[in-house]
Amino acid sequence: MSTRILMFIGFTMFFWACKPKYDNQIIKKIFFETKTIYGSEVLLRDQLFKLKNKKVAVVCNLASWVNDSINLVDALLKNKIQITKIFAPEHGFRKVLEAGKYFQDTIDSVTGIPIVSLYGKKMKPTPESLIEVDIVLFDIQDVGCRFYTYLTTLVQVMEACAENGKTLMVLDRPNPNGFYVAGPVLEPGFESFQGLHPIPIVHGMTFAEYARMVNQEGWLKNGIKCNLEIVKCENYVHEMRWRDTQRKWFPPSPNLRTPEAAEWYPILCWYEGTNVSVGRGTETPFQLVGFPYHRALQKIIIQDSLEGTQSNIQILGHSFQVKKFTPQADPIRALNPLYKNQTCYGLFLNQIPENTDTLFLIGLELLQNFYNEYKEYQKFYPNVKNPFFKDYFYELVGNKTLRTQIENKVPTQEILASWQKSLNNFKNLRKKYLLYK
């Protein structure tokens, strides 16, 4: 073989060996070193002509900021756009409202525009509320979990627009949990406001992508279709975590105060269907998990106080700080938190694992541990009679299987494996609707 051919083969092998790294460097420079631009900001910059001479309704909340400095409603008014309605989901528009607190229609004190509640007697825009509307803008920061209620609000607004001949424009935003897909897929018969469709707990889609899926899969009532327009984000790919967007975090709900809490949310929210606290009524909700009945952690905390030490617990190679905490009433974030004024023993969850399978395994390990500790506690204190699981647990996880698996002490790896077939089916469906790399 000639020297020239050997050189050519060597160069070719070197080129292909380097090419993925080169591509990744380009991608990292373009996306990870550049601030993500929200769909609302693209609209204000380039597409306001679409709203000229239109009567506009806006679905937004107190996290619907543009340029990290102004609410979308105020920015549109500043640009002479006619807004006739504000539709407010759970937690309200300007005023912070506690999770699960219903509220009524009102008038925005700043602009005088009617605010229509989508979290009260009605969860969906009525035909009357859409009479003086040509186009509806949807600009909500999501967390990327099936049981986060803004996802259902999106579907309800799509349905109302389809039924009343209105255009819906989704102004897309990054998904802080958009970098993976995980958790059990919702099974038939478990539909609720916490989950309408057969998707996993972590769906890995933005609102615009999910709206496309709902529309094209015929998931709206009677298979109707919404006249859907989308304004994409710029400088965003699914591989990003929130820190990569270089954007300020505005809490989309009162108890998700940090991006870290949003990343722990997928495996902590299901505890709201148990008698375990997730730290509501503390300074770090959805980064704390515990209850008064964990005798093993209580012993560690007592020993630490005697020795002046701070213990950590290892779970699947990750270290978590043993912590005691006492939930307190908060008129805005937690009016009556679980175990109010009671000392709880638990763990503080700080840095999220890079491996997302590990994240859900940690969630399952913790769930199994707290269930076992509670049953042991009841042996010594039989007067503690509340069941560990509440019926709400079924709505959150979307099946009855997980509770049975935990009660029967099925190994967590087996539980994770039991989700894989339906997860793979969803991932194949999801591919058709992705808008970002």
Across the chain, what does the average pLDDT equal?
91
Check pLDDT > 60 for residue 92.
yes
Interatomic CA distance for residues 25 and 23, integer angstroms = 5
User: Average of pLDDT values for 62-72?
Assistant: 94
List phi, psi (to 5°) of 192.
Answer: -160, -175
CATH number of the domain at 39-253, please? Answer: 3.40.50.12170
Interatomic CA distance for residues 423 and 45, integer angstroms = 38
What pLDDT band is residue 26 in, cutting at 50, 70 and 90?
low
Check pLDDT > 70 for residue 170.
yes
More reliable by pLDDT, 99 or 245: 245
What pLDDT band is residue 99 in, cutting at 50, 70 and 90?
low
Interatomic CA distance for residues 117 and 133, integer angstroms = 16
What pLDDT band is residue 198 in, cutting at 50, 70 and 90?
very high
List phi, psi (to 5°) of 18.
Answer: -85, -25
B/e letters for 42-76, b = 16+ CB within 10 Å, e = fewer, are bbbeeeeeebeeebbbbbbbbbbbbeeeebbbbbb
pLDDT of residue 331: 79
121: left (phi over 0), alpha (psi -120 to 50) or beta: alpha
Interatomic CA distance for residues 340 and 327, integer angstroms = 5
Hey, is 75 helix, strand or coil? helix
pLDDT of residue 98: 60
CATH 3.90.1150 residue window(s) in the chain: 259-399
> Could you tell me if 317 and 305 are in contact, meaning their C-beta atoms sit under 8 angstroms apart?
no
User: Average of pLDDT values for 284-302?
Assistant: 96
Check pLDDT > 60 for residue 10.
no
List phi, psi (to 5°) of 60.
Answer: -155, 175
User: Average of pLDDT values for 51-65?
Assistant: 95
More reliable by pLDDT, 321 or 16: 321
Check pLDDT > 50 for residue 145.
yes
Residue with tokens 């500043």: 78
Return the ∠ at Cα 166 (arms to 164 and 170), rounded to 5°: 130
CATH 3.40.50.12170 residue window(s) in the chain: 39-253
215-273: pLDDT as tens digits: 999 999 999 999 999 999 999 999 999 999 999 999 999 899 999 999 999 999 999 99
% of the chain residues with pLDDT over 70: 92
**Which helix or strand (DSSP H or E) is residue 17 part of?**
helix 3-27
pLDDT of residue 226: 97
What pLDDT band is residue 28 in, cutting at 50, 70 and 90?
low
User: What's 259-399's CATH class?
Assistant: alpha beta
pLDDT of residue 357: 83
Check pLDDT > 80 for residue 190.
yes
Check pLDDT > 70 for residue 97.
no
What pLDDT band is residue 2 in, cutting at 50, 70 and 90?
very low
- pTM greater than the 0.85 cutoff: yes
pLDDT of residue 4: 43
pLDDT of residue 31: 57
**Which helix or strand (DSSP H or E) is residue 171 part of?**
strand 167-171
Check pLDDT > 90 for residue 192.
yes
pLDDT of residue 20: 45
Residue 315's nearest CA partner among 347, 273, 267, 287 is 347
